[in-house]
Structure 1
């Protein structure tokens, strides 16, 4: 057997995890590699420094600035927004106005119950309760910052949610929040965003508190590296003081091909991902090195609605979530049979798809439906998906079956069984067909189909925070002075798997809280 070599980057990752482990076993926050305040000269001084410009980072910066604090937001990439700007634009808000208008009953308790089911019960409930209690406030804050949401359509029901509770931005993209929020933040007095400025390390005082950061300005991200940039030394080194503290909002690490593989060896370095290339682990690992408690690091969510026929997030998730998953079916092409509840939580569906792909990596499942199986707000995207050849159109079931080499008789039997179930309001896999008012796959075409391929999408794990967004030490079990965190860089909130559209709510809510409390 050929022995795999551990690269320098892998060794650095393992070393960082070792430091995190020492912190949890009782090491002090200040390790031998810690940068101490007494040993540096600060180039610039601020009240608050925010790391990251996604939903969480911008919300934190806005709230801190509105308190009269001088705020610096650092972003390592050339553009703001991270994963947030390419997010699908859905925000889960229990008991929202649209639910009331369309007679949809919801509650905080039901929202939390849904999240716990998807998260396999390992969620930190106090964080979910905080999100539920302030979700509407977070939504209103996004609107205050200039975000515009669709208010002429009922809310959508994402997989794993018991009821429709997700509102969408006007442009069905996270950019509908990020762009106006960036403008809002940059317009606040004493608040500044700097791009191509990479956070490298925390600066600590002699009591283990965070008092600043080291950065590299003029930094250039190297997209050819598989992991965070251990071998990228671009930029000019500077040291910034944060008198009130630092807010870590650096996002997740789904694009960090080395670190994610260390957590889940099933994820190959060549596997496509929905995230932007800068979604790496470096900032989170630095927090571990100063003693932050790691939570749920090995739980990496795969997006079950993605397609192998396009790179990244693309158009397929809109077509599946707003169409063929909701009203149509997904089948195993080898036998023409359904194999999952197409509206289950993401982990359940991704696991079901992987069972097929592990048996035959070439047997990508196919999801399909007819013209009636699309929400109105995704019709325009359907045309884009067809033009890009991500979605294919067929006049008959026979033509669809022939193209994907699916046994046609078995496929027709699966359609009939599903349609019979929707008419009765009962589905063999527990799909909530009653919600869809018996909407079936029509006997007459055209039929729209997409091949499925799970892709790393959201990392459940990160640093442990409390309900005040303070980062908790693995040594003392108390907050690390001067360090707050929000968004995907934190762990515990979503447990084993996050429900779709809860990320925006999570990030905005705890970003606000961090900015309010620091």
Structure 2
């Protein structure tokens, strides 16, 4: 009895103490969080000072850095990883361009308004329309800018899912490395300071609240959080955040979407985590659409990461083949719908216990002729070859008669120029009449974060409360939110990254230069 009395008294004291903490201590908790995000001291001594600091070295970061340098600013790029490029290097290297010379050569009529409409439809109307127009307006000129910096494109236009017409250009390498390598090379030639293994720890602000630099760990070894030497880097004009998304941060992405747990693989590189986003939020940046996380509908469960199937399905299966439920041998969605529609459809293929039943995507040799990863996919048995449809059915446990009947229905739809089952666009559809056949098991992977911090058309990061710019802080690419709404169209990551990166670089370089103390 005395033990119970003592326990009740302890509980009362604990509750009383908790109430006191809530009233008196919350200010110190908030202050502690703020100080962790920001070193606020106008008289701080900097180890190095440049005009513009760019955090991140992907499409947005390298575009921002080069544009700022070409506008006359001194620039430093920092990246926490041991190699430059991040997700952009392993991206498929495809860029949606409204009004490219290749479109005109092929007689394809396109416009900025049409691209905006396509992205609005894919985004379910959630898009920031002004930012969307900024991106689409800048694609043709930015594509030319990339070409001038040494990027080489395949000599044909592609039609990716969700786009109403063909407008996608792709690097000859079928990889984002075909963009990152020329940009990094150009940056080094133009005297941009390139720093690997340099991790952002916090922002440095002056007494007026302007971001004037960053505190970093130099010599950082990801993911060992306490490695590296602390240094202060000053930015006379501003800091541009081009830190990408958080697709590999399982804990944080699951906070936004509980079903995106560790069982769901990601195409992202290991460094695609949330700490830079959190640092921006801690100094007042407004996070929007963080729960809008895209699944790539072209991935395969038979390999890790982006792999070989993603490129094969993008180039071959989706535009020139079909996808069927392995249990029925029948199509169940529009193969050229936007990514969200396709991924949502695939994720419904489950057994009575909720386990995935992997759909099969396939095409023939004619449909696969431009797929550069075909040989690698065959080597690692991610893609399988069959001489006949009966053999293909046996490989994947598909009812052969049903599969053959589905192919026959598809061929009739192609001949008629109309997909009566799912309304797929048929401009470049082809009949599937002759083998050999190439098949792949399919299951979506976490691919892209549509959410991030809110910016205006000057690429300035906006404050959560005032909706006014946080002075000295800019952001571009996947680190921002709102452009894509609920779902990003394929090939629009390169478009967004390059256009918004250049926009941020140009405007930041035009900002007022302030004097900083350098040690």
Shared fold by TM > 0.5?
A: yes
Stretches of structure 1 that go unaligned for 5 or more consecutive residues are: 1-21, 223-228
1:499 aligned onto 2:503? no
- Structure 2 match to 1:185: 187
TM-score, with length taken from structure 2: 0.89
CA distance in 2, matches of 1:107, 1:358: 44
Secondary structure in 1 matching 2:324: strand
- Structure 2 match to 1:402: 394
- Structure 1 match to 2:237: 244
C-alpha distance 336-89 of structure 1, shift in aligned 2 (>3 A):
same
Secondary structure in 2 matching 1:324: helix
> 1:257-306 CA distances to partner (integer Å, 9 max, x unpaired)?
11111111111224221111111111011101101111100000000000
Moved more, 328-337 or 274-283: 328-337
Secondary structure in 1 matching 2:461: strand
- Structure 2 match to 1:216: 217
- Structure 1 match to 2:405: 413
1:257 aligned onto 2:250? yes
CA distance in 2, matches of 1:502, 1:362: 29
Whether the 8 Å CA contact 1:204–1:212 is kept in 2: the answer is: yes
CA distance in 1, matches of 2:390, 2:47: 69
CA distance in 1, matches of 2:57, 2:162: 29
CA distance in 2, matches of 1:445, 1:38: 70
- Structure 1 match to 2:313: 320
Whether the 8 Å CA contact 2:462–2:469 is kept in 1: the answer is: yes
Residue 432 of structure 1 and its aligned partner are, at CA, apart by 0.8
Residue 448 of structure 1 and its aligned partner are, at CA, apart by 0.8
TM-score, with length taken from structure 1: 0.89
1:276 aligned onto 2:269? yes
Residue 39 of structure 1 and its aligned partner are, at CA, apart by 7.1
Residue 56 of structure 1 and its aligned partner are, at CA, apart by 0.7
1:425 pairs with one of 402, 405, 417: 417
2:108 pairs with one of 89, 104, 110: 104
- Structure 1 match to 2:286: 293
- Structure 2 match to 1:363: 357
Whether the 8 Å CA contact 1:115–1:494 is kept in 2: the answer is: yes
Whether the 8 Å CA contact 1:255–1:278 is kept in 2: the answer is: yes
Mapping of residues 30-429 of structure 1, within 5 Å: 31=34, 33=36, 34-38=38-42, 40-150=44-154, 152=155, 154-189=156-191, 191-222=192-223, 232-357=225-350, 360-374=354-368, 376-378=369-371, 380-427=372-419, 428-429=421-422
CA distance in 2, matches of 1:100, 1:71: 37
- Structure 2 match to 1:439: 430
- Structure 1 match to 2:18: none
Stretches of structure 2 that go unaligned for 5 or more consecutive residues are: 1-25, 509-519
Residue 413 of structure 1 and its aligned partner are, at CA, apart by 2.0
Secondary structure in 1 matching 2:279: helix
Residue 401 of structure 1 and its aligned partner are, at CA, apart by 1.5
Secondary structure in 2 matching 1:239: strand
CA distance in 1, matches of 2:506, 2:404: 57
Whether the 8 Å CA contact 2:205–2:211 is kept in 1: the answer is: yes
CA distance in 1, matches of 2:195, 2:282: 25
CA distance in 2, matches of 1:388, 1:39: 58
Residue 400 of structure 1 and its aligned partner are, at CA, apart by 1.6
Secondary structure in 2 matching 1:325: helix
Residue 403 of structure 1 and its aligned partner are, at CA, apart by 2.1
Whether the 8 Å CA contact 1:108–1:133 is kept in 2: the answer is: yes
Secondary structure in 2 matching 1:326: helix
Superposition RMSD on alpha carbons, in Å? 1.8
Whether the 8 Å CA contact 1:295–1:491 is kept in 2: the answer is: yes
Whether the 8 Å CA contact 1:89–1:176 is kept in 2: the answer is: yes
Whether the 8 Å CA contact 1:37–1:211 is kept in 2: the answer is: no
